[in-house]
Amino acid sequence: KQEVTQIPAALSVPEGENLVLNCSFTDSAIYNLQWFRQDPGKGLTSLLLIQSSQREQTSGRLNASLDKSSGRSTLYIAASQPGDSATYLCAATDSNYQLIWGAGTKLIIKP
Amino acid sequence: EAEVAQSPRYKITEKSQAVAFWCDPISGHATLYWYRQILGQGPELLVQFQDESVVDDSQLPKDRFSAERLKGVDSTLKIQPAELGDSAMYLCASTLSGKNNEQFFGPGTRLTVL
C-alpha cells in the first residue's frame, strides 16, 4: 500500500532564503506526482505535476524534482517571499489512478 | 480560465440534520472526485466518478453519506444525518481522465456540525 510522507511538518525561514520541501513515497509504481499549495481555510492549488517519466518541472521560482528509484520528490522554492507562506502538500497517483496524499508541510516565511 | 465550482462555501448545521454539497467540474472533465480533509491532514478520497458511474466509493460511509452524478456533469454529496465528526473541508476535483492527468480542485465547502 502506497504511503506518502512529508517531513518536516512545519518550517519557518527568513524572507529571501532558498528552501527545499521533501516528499517521500513507498511504492515507486506511480503515474505522476503533484505538488499543491493550500492557504488556511482554502482549497488546493496545483503547483507542479511531474509525470513518472520526467525528472523535474519548473514554474517561476518553483522547481520540483522526482526520483522514483529512491522514492523521493523535492519542491525547491527560490528567493522565498512572505506570500509563499502556506501549507504545501504532495500527492502521488497510484496504480488505481488515485492520489495518495502526504500530510503537508506548513511553511512560514518571516519578513 | 476554467475552474471547478463548489457551493456553498461554508455550512453550519446541527447534528442529525441533513446537508448537501454541490460541485460543477471543469467542462469536459469526465472524472470527478469528492474528498474530505480534516484540519492538519491530507485529503481523504470519499468517492470517484467516471462520467455518471461510481468508480470507487470504498471510503464513503454509506450509512450516512451518498453521492450522485446523474448526468455525468455536476455532482451532489449528501450527509444525513450529520454528526459532530463530519466537521471538515469537503473538496471536489476533476480531471480529463484518471491517468496521468492533473487534478483541479474547487474552493471547497467548510462544514461545521454543532
Chain A partners of B100 at a C-beta cutoff of 8 Å? 31-32, 51, 93
Chain B partners of A104 at a C-beta cutoff of 8 Å? 40-42
pLDDT in tens, chain A (111 residues): 889 999 999 999 999 999 999 999 999 899 899 999 999 888 899 999 999 999 999 999 999 999 999 999 999 999 999 999 999 999 999 887 789 999 999 999 999
Residue range B41-99, pLDDT digits in tens: 899 999 999 999 999 999 999 999 999 998 889 999 999 999 999 999 999 999 987 55
**A65 Cβ neighbours under 8 A, 6+ residues apart:** A50, A55, A56, A73, A74, A76
**B97 Cβ neighbours under 8 A, 6+ residues apart:** B30, B31
Interface of A with B in 44-63 (CB under 8 A): 44-46, 49, 51
Average of per-residue pLDDT across B27-44: 92
Cα A99-A102-A103 angle, rounded to 5 deg: 130
Tell whether the model's pLDDT for residue B2 goes beyond 90: no
Question: Are B105 and A44 an interchain contact pair (Cβ–Cβ within 8 Å)?
Answer: yes
Tell whether the model's pLDDT for residue B38 goes beyond 60: yes
Site from B103, B104, B109, B110 to mutate, A interface, most A CB atoms within 10 angstroms: B103
